[in-house]
Amino acid sequence: MSLILSVAIKYEHDVVAARQRARQIAGLLGFDTRDQTRIATAVSEIIADLSRILSGRYTSATGMGGGIIGARRLMDNFVITSEPGKGTAVTLTKIVPRDVAVITAERMSDIVGSLARQRPRTPMEEVQLQNQELLRALEELRAAKRSCDDSTASSRTPTGVWWPSMPSWTRRPTTCAAPTT
């Protein structure tokens, strides 16, 4: 595994910069827009949670913050290490999609170079982009719900309705799955 970028988090705007860079790296590695958003969200959630935990402003019954739990769900793996005098390091891992070409040393060098050339967005631009991503995800969920509702409504036939007196082999459950976000 190669380190592409490390971001020191000292100020509030560093969280925005880390989220932005996470999305940019994900895009350069070949992740689709949905996974880019997942990765960027996991990064910002981890940072926000750790900032509250390490500053003593956060407590919970489990000792873990919601951002850590959320990052676990959004990513394939993550590791948190903390050493006195060295700080806390968080490693988030997302498996590259199968249809993406192998990342060679040369390609990695190109990615790092491209990242260095990209103009950083202002915090306002980054928040606007984040809002657009959230609206896109909300619309995808609404479309999936409409599709699910339509398929559920069309499957309500006399044989698709569950009646308590009907034998179990005649019951046909109707299920829909929304896209994971």
| Residue 135 covered by a domain | no
Three-state secondary structure call for residue 100? coil
> How many structural domains does the chain have?
1
Distance CA 171, CA 67 (A): 41
| Residue 99 covered by a domain | yes
| Residue 97 covered by a domain | yes
- Please give the average per-residue pLDDT across 57-67, as a whole number: 62
Q: Is the pLDDT of residue 142 over 80?
A: yes
Distance CA 160, CA 171 (A): 7
Q: Is the pLDDT of residue 103 over 80?
A: yes
- The amino acid present at 57, given as its one-letter code, is R
Q: Is the pLDDT of residue 2 over 60?
A: yes
- Please give the average per-residue pLDDT across 144-150, as a whole number: 82
| Residue 152 covered by a domain | no
* Greatest mean pLDDT range, 2-6, 140-144, 167-171: 140-144
Task: Show the domain range for 112.
Answer: 12-119
Q: Nearest-CA neighbor of 92 among 73, 108, 116? A: 73
pLDDT at 60: 61
pTM of the entire predicted model = 0.63
39-43, 125-129, 149-153, 173-177: range with lowest mean pLDDT = 173-177
- Please give the average per-residue pLDDT across 100-119, as a whole number: 84
Q: Is 78 exposed, middle or buried (0-12, 13-18, 19+ CB in 10 A)?
A: middle
Q: Considering the chain, what percentage of its residues have pLDDT values greater than 90?
A: 4
Structure tokens at 76: 């394939």
Taking the CA atoms of residue 23, residue 138, residue 71 and residue 121 in that order, the dihedral angle to the nearest 10 degrees is: 30
| Residue 127 covered by a domain | no
63-67, 84-88, 107-111, 144-148: range with lowest mean pLDDT = 63-67
Distance CA 55, CA 50 (A): 8
Distance CA 169, CA 43 (A): 47
| Residue 168 covered by a domain | no
| Residue 154 covered by a domain | no
pLDDT at 151: 73
pLDDT band at 54 (very low <50, low <70, confident <90, very high): low
Q: Nearest-CA neighbor of 74 among 31, 116, 105, 106? A: 31
- Please give the average per-residue pLDDT across 116-135, as a whole number: 78
Query: Please, where are the H alpha helices in the chain?
Result: 12-29, 33-54, 66-74, 105-117, 123-154
Q: Nearest-CA neighbor of 7 among 45, 43, 49? A: 43
- Please give the average per-residue pLDDT across 3-22, as a whole number: 81
| Residue 31 covered by a domain | yes
